[in-house]
Structure formats: C-alpha cells, structure tokens
Copies of this chain bind each other. A is one copy, B any other.
Amino acid sequence: MKTRKIVIDGMGGDNAPGAIVEGAILAAGSVPHRICIVGDEAAISAELAKHRYSGDSIEIVHADEAISGDEAPVKAVRTKQRSSIVMGINMLKRGEGDVFISAGSTGALMAGGLFILGRIQGIDRPALASTYPIMQTGGVSLLVDSGANSECKPNNLLEFATMGAIYMEKVIGVKRPTVGLVNMGTEEGKGTTVLKAAYEMMARSRDEYGALEFIGNIEARDVPRGAADVIVCDGYVGNVILKLTEGLAWSIFKLIKKKFTDGALPRIGALLLSGKINELRGAFDYSEYGGAPILGVKGAIVKMHGASNANAAKNTIIKAVPYMEQEVVRHIENSVLEMEAVQISE
C-alpha cells in the first residue's frame, strides 16, 4: 500500500495546538500514513515534548501565522500566504499531502479550497458535508450542504446529492446510499420553486440514468431516525439542522440531569444514571465523528468542529484515511458528465 501524508492544521480551533498535537499522537499508532502538523513550530514541538512523543511518523511544517475565525475569509486567504491553512492547502496542491484537516474557519477553508485547489470541472458550488448521528442505529447520515452555500440553485442541490452519495459509498461504506431532499412535506410538488426543480432533476437522475438512489422529499422530523443516507438541502437549512440538533440535544440532556438528580430518586439510582446519560450524550458527541469534508474542490479537505478536543482530532485523522485512499475527488470528476446530462434533459 502506498504511504500517504495526512496534513493537519496545528493552529485551528479553540483548543489548538494542544488538542491537535495530542490527537495526532493518539492517531499515529493506528494510521499507516505519515502525519504532518502545520503551524508554529516551537509551540507544536513543545506539545510533542509534553507528551514525550519520540516516534517518526509525525513531522512539523512551520507556518508563521494563523487565520482566525473573525477574519474575512477571502481576504485572509489572499493575504496570509504563510498561514497554516494556506500552507496546508498548498501542500495538497503540490502533491506533498493527500488530505488537509483543520478545526479553523470554515470560510477560510472553503476559500482556500476554491482559490488554491480550484473547483472540480463541472461542479458549480463545492459544499460542506457533515455526518449526522442516527441514535437508533449507531450509524450516520450525511448532511449536504451543511453550511457553505446559503443560496442554492436546483443544479447545486443535484451536485450535493451526487457528491454526497459518492462520499457515503466510498468513505462511509454504504452500498447505494439513499438520497432524500429536505422539504415541507413528502409529496412531490412541495416547496419552493428551487426545491421543485431539484426534485425533478434528482428523479431524472434516478429514472433515466440509474444514478441516484433518490427516495424523494423527506421531512425534518424524519432526519434523526435516518430517513435517508444522504440528506440534501441548502446550506442555510443544513446549518439550522446541524445547530438545532446540537442545541436541542444539549437542552434535553441538561434537563434529564436536573430531573434525575432532583431529590426523588435514590442516590444509588442517580449514580447509575449519570453513566447512562454520558453514554447517551456520547451519541451526540462531535468528538466521536470524523469531521466534515468539503466536497467539490480538487483535493481532500476536512473541517473539524471548532471546539474539537484531542479525541475529536484523533478520530478525524483516522476517518480521513478512507477519504484519501478511495479517491473521492476522481469519482466526483467521473460523475460530472452524468449530472450535466440530467440538467440538459429538462
């Protein structure tokens, strides 16, 4: 097997560089590839020393600066050539890395992907795809777009569906993943003009090309139970789905904890419970899931949650392996002609 290189942004997110370096060390043992941390060399070396890391599968590439979440993404990417994000993505571009992972600014990662790597020919809008935990099964759905494109045309939604299905099949390992369009009802003909046209395109992709396993409209109510493997919507709605899930799960767990420690329950019961609640909370823990790929640019970029801890960094590194090994970019390139045919045949 070819040894590849995983490049990770040492400066991105709330807990960098500590959590990133620790995550890289934790992952190094189980990943048969080299890991390169891009960022402030002194700070990263100090973290490696803190954990007494002495292996040779982690290397550092020094970056003078970092892009913060407050900066205007396009300007930051244009002007901060020595930032960890720009340098990391440039490594992909030059073939010195096979995947780039960052907990930094989503906007900067998207801008970097677009300006440095460029869009895959025929893809109008790259998208952010997030895994969504399905509690009942322990599996995941893929939510595309989960926040990159707030305004979409019908062909953008078709692209999200197609790219998401490829990722779900090649990386998550779901054979012929089902695709659902988030709408206000399940009947055909529901929703906005954009949703109606997107529905038609996806149905054509299924009926005339045997491409998408499109199951039609789905309601937001059915997302948590895994109504479709690939959940398609614009980035505004995707952001609402992701953030509301996070906020609501947090509210419910907080209330459970309060209710269950409110007097009535014997102390021993409360103790047993806190373990159970932590198990439940695990089902919603971002650190268990493997980051969000940016699909549609000519390279493998993965966005981690800004609050990622060492465990999240470790899991994201591990889950990035099939992303690069399966050559998702090439598969997306191969799907473009079919998508164009679907659009033309309207």
Contacts and interface: CB of A to CB of B under 8 A. Distances in A.
B272 A265 contact: yes
A337 interface: no
Interface in A203-246: 219-225, 235-237, 239-246
Contact of A276 (B182, B225, B250, B260): B260
A276 B254 CA distance: 14
A251 B237 contact: no
Contacts of A195: 150, 236
A147 interface: yes
A220 to B, nearest CB: 4
Interface in A280-327: 280, 283
Contact of A243 (B136, B220, B242): B220
A276 B265 contact: yes
Q: Majority SS of interface residues in chain A?
A: helix
Copy total for this chain: 2
A247 B226 CA distance: 11
Contacts of A283: 255
Q: Please indicate which of the listed interface residues A147, A221, A279, A283 has the most CB atoms of chain B within 10 Å of its own CB.
A: A221
B248 A184 contact: no
A183 to B, nearest CB: 8
Given A240-B182, A276-B265, A280-B255, A220 B235 contact: no
Contact of A240 (B193, B241, B255, B280): B241
A258 to B, nearest CB: 9
B259 A244 contact: no
B182 A254 contact: no
A249 interface: yes
Contacts of A220: 239-244, 247
Contact of A248 (B151, B249, B256): B249
Given A255-B280, A280-B255, A221 B192 contact: no
Contacts of A243: 219-221
Contact of A255 (B136, B250, B265): B136
Interface string A178-207: 000010100000011101000000000000
A134 B279 CA distance: 24
Given A150-B184, A221-B246, A249-B248, A236 B135 contact: no
A91 to B, nearest CB: 29
Given A239-B220, A252-B252, A150 B247 contact: no
Interface string A26-59: 0000000000000000000000000000000000
A1 interface: no
A239 B184 contact: yes
Given A259-B280, A264-B276, 6 more contacts: A135-B251, A135-B255, A184-B239, A237-B240, A240-B241, A260-B276
